[in-house]
Amino acid sequence: MTRNPNRTKSAVPVSAQPRLHQRAGEIQAYGTVSHLPPLELEEAVRLEMTAQLNQLLADTMTLRDLYKKCHWQVAGPTFYQLHLLFDKHFDEQVELVDALAERVQLLGGVSLAMAADVAETTQIERPPRGREEITVQLSRLIDAHQVIIQQSRPLARRAAELGDDGTNDLVVSDVIRTNELQIWFLSEHLVDVPLVAAKERSAAAGAS
Ligand SMILES: [Fe+2]
């Protein structure tokens, strides 16, 4: 019998058996950036940007989930309209989550991903597990948008200052613009206008 000279005794035999339940150390720690491709961005810049983007990511993931909670739990005569609106905004936040997470990765960082880590990181107030009325749902959503807008504006300016134009563009063109528009759509639902009959003007207001 001829032996294959390239085959050693230590070679792992080919097997159809899946190798399950594997664990090993991380290949990159959270909060670090890898030495990356020629992006012309210093490591210090990428460290600062990825840290801030991860905060924005955690808050965006929380807002995304808050939209689904509101979509499921909304009640009242405007159920159908708000049920659909909340899901539309949810879908748009899903897009932002992906863009932010992938920006962190392409800058050489490690993006936050799991709910437990997001819960520890987000600055958005935790709502109760139970259902709340529409006005409270809308107010919570607007407050959450505000948390995101508040950090996005200085982040965009800082990114421009550091020469990270891609992060600046993502935050301005996608995060800020989407959140501004969604705040408008929500806020108009909290304007107290009559549903059927116009309010009569008071005698004082009507007198000339
Ligand atoms: Fe649904």
pLDDT at 5: 55
pLDDT at 1: 46
**Calpha distance 62→64 (Å, rounded):** 5
Across the 208 residues of the chain, what is the mean pLDDT of every consecutive 10-residue run? 56 91 98 88 97 98 99 97 98 99 97 98 98 98 98 98 98 98 98 90 57
CA angle 186, 131, 145 (to 5 degrees): 30
Please give the span between the terminal C-alpha atoms of the chain, in angstroms, as a whole number.
Answer: 115
Which string of DSSP letters, residue by residue, matches 180-204? HHHHHHHHGGGS---SSSPPPPPHH
Inter-residue contact 100 to 53 (CB < 8 Å): yes
Give the Å distance between the CA of 69 and the centre of ligand 1.
10
pLDDT at 12: 79
pLDDT at 113: 98
Give the Å distance between the CA of 83 and the centre of ligand 1.
8
Inter-residue contact 167 to 78 (CB < 8 Å): no
* Alpha carbon of residue 16 to chain centroid: 40
3-state secondary structure at position 115: helix
Give the Å distance between the CA of 54 and the centre of ligand 1.
27
Give the Å distance between the CA of 115 and the centre of ligand 1.
20
Give the Å distance between the CA of 75 and the centre of ligand 1.
14
Give the Å distance between the CA of 66 and the centre of ligand 1.
13
Give the Å distance between the CA of 72 and the centre of ligand 1.
7
Give the Å distance between the CA of 116 and the centre of ligand 1.
23
Give the Å distance between the CA of 98 and the centre of ligand 1.
20
Give the Å distance between the CA of 79 and the centre of ligand 1.
12
pLDDT at 103: 98
Give the Å distance between the CA of 88 and the centre of ligand 1.
10
**What are the tokens at 105?**
């990765």
Identify the CA nearest to 65 among candidates 121, 131, 138, 141: 141
Q: How far is CA 53 from CA 13, 145, 155, in A?
A: 45, 16, 8
pLDDT at 201: 72
pLDDT at 8: 55
**Calpha distance 115→15 (Å, rounded):** 36
Give the Å distance between the CA of 84 and the centre of ligand 1.
8
Inter-residue contact 82 to 74 (CB < 8 Å): yes
Inter-residue contact 86 to 74 (CB < 8 Å): yes
Give the Å distance between the CA of 44 and the centre of ligand 1.
42
